[in-house]
Amino acid sequence: MNDAALITVGLPIALAVIMFGLGLSLTPGDFRRVAAAPKAVAVALVLQVLVLPLVAFGLVILFDLEPLLAVGVMLLAASPGGTTANLFSHLFRGDVALNVSLTAINSVLAAVTLPLITNLAIDYFEADGSLGLQWAKVLQVIAIVLVPVAIGMAVRHRSGAFAARADKPVRVFSIVVLVLVAAGALFGERENLVGYARDVGLVTGLFCAASLTLGHAGARLLRLSEPQAIACAMEVGIHNTTIALTIALSVLDNTEVAIPAAVYSVTMYVLAPAFGFAITRRRRTGVTAGDTAPGGRS
C-alpha cells in the first residue's frame, strides 16, 4: 500500500476502529446520565461548541497565521474530546463517568459542528476553493465518527465480556495511531517544520492551556465539585486529534491543515499532566492549610 492509500484508506479505517472502541465503553445510560448532571454537561458543551472556536479564532487572528494553518487550528478547535481525556481525568481523580458521557455527546455533536466550523473557516480565510467539506465529505465525516460508535455500543449490548476484553487493546491502538499519524504528518512537512513550530507551536500551546483553564474555571464558577471540574477541564482541554488529522489528511487531503493537530497532539501530553498536577497540588495544599490553620477542622 503506497503513502496515499495509507492516508485515504488506512487512516479512516484506523479512526473507525478507535471510534468503535469508544462505542464499546458506552451504554445508553451514559446519555441518560446527562439528566443527573445538567450543569456539568451544559458548561462543557457550551465551552466546547461555542467558546473554544472563538478562542481559536482570536489566536489565529492575533498571530496572523497563513490560511491553511488557520483552518487547521479551527478544525482542531471543533474536534471533540476523546478517550485520552478520560485517561487524564482518571489519573487526576476526575469524574470519569461524566467524561464518558461528555465524550459520547461531543462525538455526536461533532458530526454536525465540525464540518460547519471547518467550512466557515475555509470561507473566512479564503483557503483553497476545493478544500471545502461538500455534502459527500460531510457524510463521510458522519460515517467515520458516528457509525462505528453505534456499532461498538451494539456489540457491548450483546457481549459485555467482549467489550471489556477489547477495551485495553483498543486504547493502546488509539495511542499508537495518534503517535504514528502525528509523526507522519510532521515528517511529511519536515522541510517546513521549524517554521510551522514557530507559527503554530505557541498558538496550540496557548489554546491547550486556555482550554484546560476554561474547562476547570467554568465548572467551579457554577459551583460544581472538584472531580466534575477536573472532568470538564480534561474534556474541554484535550481534543480528539485523530479525528482532526483524519479529516485534514484523508477528507481534505491537505498536510498543512493537519500540522496544528499534529503539533497539538504533542503539546497536550505535556500541558495536560502539568495542569493536572498543578490543580491537585493546589487542592492538597489548600486542604493541609485548612487542617493546620487555627480553628481548622480535621
Q: What is the pLDDT of residue 188?
A: 63
CA 8-13-15 angle, to 5 degrees, is: 100
> Can you list the domains of the chain with their CATH numbers?
3-281 (1.20.1530.20)
Q: Would you state the pLDDT for residue 1?
A: 41
pLDDT tens-digit map of 57-86: 999 999 999 999 999 999 999 998 877 787
Residue 280: its pLDDT value, please? 83
Instruction: Look up cell 486504547; give the residue.
Output: 171
- What length does the chain have? 298
Let me know: does 111 contact 240? Beta carbons within 8 Å: no
pLDDT at 107: 78
DSSP state of 64: T
Residue 293 has a pLDDT of: 44
Q: How far apart are CA 245 and CA 243, in angstroms?
A: 5
What gap in Å lies between CA 82 and CA 100, rounded to an integer? 9
End-to-end Cα separation, the chain, in angstroms: 64
- Type of residue numbered 140: Q
Rounded Cα gap, residues 139 and 259, in angstroms: 24
How do residues 16-56 score in pLDDT, each as one tens digit?
Answer: 777 787 778 777 776 676 677 788 888 988 999 999 999 99
171 in helix, strand or coil? helix
What was the pLDDT predicted at 268? 87
Place of cell 468503535: 20
Query: Residue 168: its pLDDT value, please?
Result: 76
User: What is the reported pLDDT for 298?
Assistant: 33
Q: In angstroms, rounded to a whole number, what is the distance separating the alpha carbons of residues 26 and 195?
A: 41
Contact 179/14 with Cβ under 8 angstroms? no
Residues of the chain where predicted confidence (pLDDT) is lower than 50: 1-2, 287-298
Q: How far apart are CA 127 and CA 265, in angstroms?
A: 23
